[in-house]
Chain A
Amino acid sequence: MSNFAIETVGLTYNFGSQTVVKDLSLQVPKGSIYGFLGPNGAGKTTTIKILLNLLKSPADQVFIFGKEINANRIASLKRMGALVEQPAIYGHLTGKENLVNRCILLGIKKSKYAEMLDIVGLTDAANKKAGKYSLGMKQRLGIALSLISDPELLLLDEPTNGLDPNGIIEIRNLMIDLTTKHGKTILVSSHLLAEIERTATHVGIINKGHLLFQGTINELQDLSKPSVKIETDNQEKTIATLVSAGAEIVQQNEQTVSVTFKTKVDMGNMNTLLVQNGITVFSIGKERKDLENLFLDITSKN
């Protein structure tokens, strides 16, 4: 038995002569929330469509719960729920009817719709035409549709797109609930790291079809080196003093300067040195580069 809900092995996919996904080896562990990150046009949606067999992958490159997808299309799809790009809903049907239609297609009890509407908070809008829903409501309905079959694996393509802050928090909590209490696996794509870092246990960063990073969220954080951020009354003198003492300037702006963090003692020594040179130190502290900047670093290097 494979421990991965999704595993791709050197997946390469072309649209005509254009390579959209190149040598991609995703490994999504069971029970994880896998944040699939990348800027727009990086190949996220294409990858998700390949995982759903909407785009045909070469043989033996995509495995869902250890089974090759092309040979086990229906069995794999039975275990998956998905929200791809804009939620695909029938505008002329009400929210409730959209869910009932999905129940028909999946051969499950039609009464399931009420529970789903409740989960995504659309009970009051159940009998309104889905075409008249706001973007956020459509997104919620899309999530309800992907959840209705109670799938083991959820693929959510930018699920918080168009949601208000409250909605975003609800979806976040829902995802955590689904994995911790119900043992589901979720692959969630986004172009915003900030949105993922609070929920994801694992992260994969993709740009221009290449997987640039894959690992746990902690491994990603370890990549960023801490620095010491110093604010003083005399910027120029501060820099001169620090450089002559052998410190490495990482970043500077009008008010602050950052140098590489070595040890706490070293940080204390820097403070003493500045004070002894007649500089008033307003603040000095250890800082870790936030993931957002790290993400930009990783994707822009490529």
Chain B
Amino acid sequence: MRSLYISYFSEFYKSRKTLAFWAAIILPILICGLIAFGFYSGSDKVLKYNYPGLALWAQYSGAALNVMGMLILPFYVMFMAFSVNNIEHKNDTWKTLFSQPLNKFSIYAAKYLYALTLLFICLFLFAALTFVTGHLIQLLVPKYTFNDYNPVLILTKFYTKLFLASLGILSLQFILSLIWSDFLKPMGIGFVGTIAGIITANVGWKHAYLIPYSDPTLALRVTRAKGAKIEDFPIFTQEIWVSVIFAAVMFIIGYFILSKRNIK
């Protein structure tokens, strides 16, 4: 346990000055900032539709969520899984890492947990910044109706779904980046996977949920029971289960690959 903690802490220490870490913070700030600016500077156009509170929040958060689910999130996950492992490939430090008196599983699990943490930070900031900037715009443009609805529950549920739905991609990309030191192989496979995911999800192939890359897109399609409240939708739908189970299996496989492999 101590082994895991110090390895995890060391991951933070060594990557705190890298883009992998800062991307988790900059990405949500940038995207939420742009959307907020759009809603502020183009307030006349938005106000014409006279959205009630809920619909306005849906428009506002949807601007980030929709691109996230489709494109940015899978690519961010790929990039992050790559950089967490690349820090060791690039500096040729696997051998040093594994000659420390720490058990191998801790080193591996700490890296995985660190990637998970970055993903969590990124999505948490998206949710939090959507909420905060929405209220900020309300202050600047009083005619908006952001105050009429409290979006905390619905934002939390959506982003939780998105987080869980991207675990499958994360684990797969994590293994690819662990095995290969170059950028192109994991990125190439990830790119093809993402395109395939988007296509299969959009043409409505009934087994699309089995492809981890389509899970984030699918996770955002919510079906509710008739007459249910807007917030009432299940988090653990089938694509979420697929993603989580896939992630767990990949995590275990990754460890076996690593423990069998000789460190060059």
Contacts and interface: CB of A to CB of B under 8 A. Distances in A.
A271 interface: no
A100 B99 contact: no
A54 interface: yes
B102 A74 contact: yes
Interface residues of B, number: 25
Given A54-B263, A105-B100, A90 B91 contact: yes
Interface in B90-105: 90-93, 95-103
A267 to B, nearest CB: 54
A52 interface: yes
Interface in B193-247: none
Interface residues of A, number: 29
Contacts, number: 69
Contact of B91 (A74, A78, A80, A88): A88
A11 interface: no
B10 interface: yes
Contacts of A54: 95, 98-99, 262-263
A92 interface: yes
A295 to B, nearest CB: 28
B100 A88 contact: no
A120 interface: no
A86 B14 CA distance: 19
Contacts of A77: 99-101
Contacts of A85: 92, 95
B93 A89 contact: yes
B13 interface: yes
Nearest to B3: A74
B18 interface: yes
Interface in A78-94: 78, 80, 82, 84-86, 88-93
Interface of B: 2, 6-7, 9-10, 13-14, 17-18, 87, 90-93, 95-103, 262-263
A53 B6 contact: no
A101 interface: yes
A49 interface: yes
A80 B99 CA distance: 9
Looking at B6, B18, B97, B99, the one whose CB has the most chain A CB atoms below 10 A away is: B99
B44 to A, nearest CB: 46
Interface of A: 49, 52-56, 74-75, 77-78, 80, 82, 84-86, 88-93, 97, 100-101, 104-107, 145
A92 B83 CA distance: 13
The 9 closest A-B pairs by CB, nearest first: A77-B101, A78-B101, A54-B263, A88-B96, A88-B93, A52-B99, A104-B10, A74-B101, A55-B262
Nearest to A98: B14
A97 B10 CA distance: 11
A100 B13 contact: yes
B97 to A, nearest CB: 8
A187 B129 CA distance: 56
A7 to B, nearest CB: 19
21 contacts: A49-B262, A53-B99, A54-B95, A54-B99, A54-B263, A56-B262, A74-B101, A75-B101, A77-B99, A77-B101, A78-B101, A80-B99, A85-B95, A88-B93, A91-B90, A92-B17, A97-B14, A101-B14, A104-B10, A107-B2, A145-B96
Contact of A55 (B13, B100, B263): B263
B182 to A, nearest CB: 17
Nearest to B5: A107
B101 A91 contact: no
A271 to B, nearest CB: 59
B98 A101 contact: no
Given A54-B95, A88-B91, A91-B91, A101 B263 contact: no
Nearest to A104: B10
B102 A105 contact: yes
B100 A90 contact: no
B262 A92 contact: no
A14 to B, nearest CB: 11
Given A77-B101, A104-B10, A90 B87 contact: yes
Contacts of B87: 90
Given A54-B262, A77-B101, A105 B92 contact: no
Contacts of A91: 90-91
A74 B103 contact: yes
Contacts of B263: 49, 54-55
A82 B97 CA distance: 11
Nearest to A86: B92
B205 to A, nearest CB: 43
Contacts of B90: 91
A93 B95 contact: no
A54 B93 CA distance: 12
B251 to A, nearest CB: 22
Contacts of B93: 88-90
Looking at B7, B14, B17, B97, the one whose CB has the most chain A CB atoms below 10 A away is: B14
A74 B106 CA distance: 12
B99 A107 contact: no
Contacts of B10: 101, 104-105
